[in-house]
A = this chain, B = another copy of it.
Amino acid sequence: MLYLIGLGLWDEKDLSLKALQILKKCEEIFVESYTSLWYGNLESLGIKAKKIGRGELEEGVGKILDLAREKEVAILVPGDPLVATTHSSILTEAVKKGVKVEIVHNASIVSAVAEIGLHIYKFGKIASISRHYSEYPYDILKQNKSIEAHTLFLLDLEPEPMNAKDGLKRLLEIEERRKEGLVKREDLCIVASKLGSKDKKVYFGKIEDMLKKNLEDVPAIIILPSALHFSEEEVLKAYSSS
């Protein structure tokens, strides 16, 4: 049996009782942490897990699945396990090979983003901003704007985590090439970092003002909102750090 277990947003205390119960009976435990930053310490819960990187997980998935035919094997993943496409391919492979999989869900930024005061129902597609130049996030923004949806941008973690300022600069850079007027320096945006922890920060303001701030905390997200309701703006203002 293969268990794909979510670690949640921040540290080992975000693990669920169910996850803990399963981990206690697992013979092999792997933990991956390249798709998301995670600040926990599994050993403090008596869990011994082998760290695996992207390469090992993507290329070595066959081996892990073979193990899971005979043993109780767990892969621990930050957030909710199937949000990252890498992990949804583990599910695909397991299903193809007929290996049983149980998913243990946990909190993900996809729903936790509601903490900043915006309604989850107003979000459109999620976009990722990568270190490699790609206009994909701009295309997603364009789609979301066409249906008046907020856009949540996740930021690349490799080779090192991208901060929100770099993410905003990337969006402005694409705007400069595309010139479709989707990202203007005077547009409002929201930047949040370390959501789900005591150190979380939420900033709300114009992109040009955001670029003057020290926005180095990671993991961070950027939201380019569609038209804001008065009450949403009120919460954002009250809730955001200066």
| Whole-angstrom distance between the Cβ of A96 and the nearest chain B Cβ | 7
Chain B min CB distance to A152 (Å): 10
Residue among B13, B79, B239 making CB contact with A16, cutoff 8 Å: B13
Q: Are A92 and B105 in contact (CB under 8 A)?
A: no
**Shortest beta-carbon distance from A50 to chain B in Å:** 22
* A-side interface size class: 35 or more
Which A positions have Cβ atoms within 8 angstroms of B? 6, 8-9, 12-18, 20-21, 45, 79-80, 82-83, 85, 88, 91-92, 95-96, 103, 105-108, 110-112, 114-115, 117, 119-128, 143-144, 146-147, 149, 196, 231, 234-235, 238-239
Which of A6, A83, A127, A146 neighbours the largest number of chain B CB atoms within 10 Å of its CB? A83
- From B85, B91, B121, A125 is in contact (CB under 8 Å) with B121
* Cα of A106 to Cα of B9 in the assembled complex, Å: 9
Do A105 and B111 form a contact, CB below 8 Å, given A88-B119, A121-B85, A149-B125? yes
Report the separation of the CA atoms of residues A8 and B231 in the bound assembly, to the nearest whole angstrom.
27
The residue that A82 contacts in the complex, of B82, B115, B122, B149, with Cβ under 8 A, is: B115
A16 to B13, CA, bound (A): 7
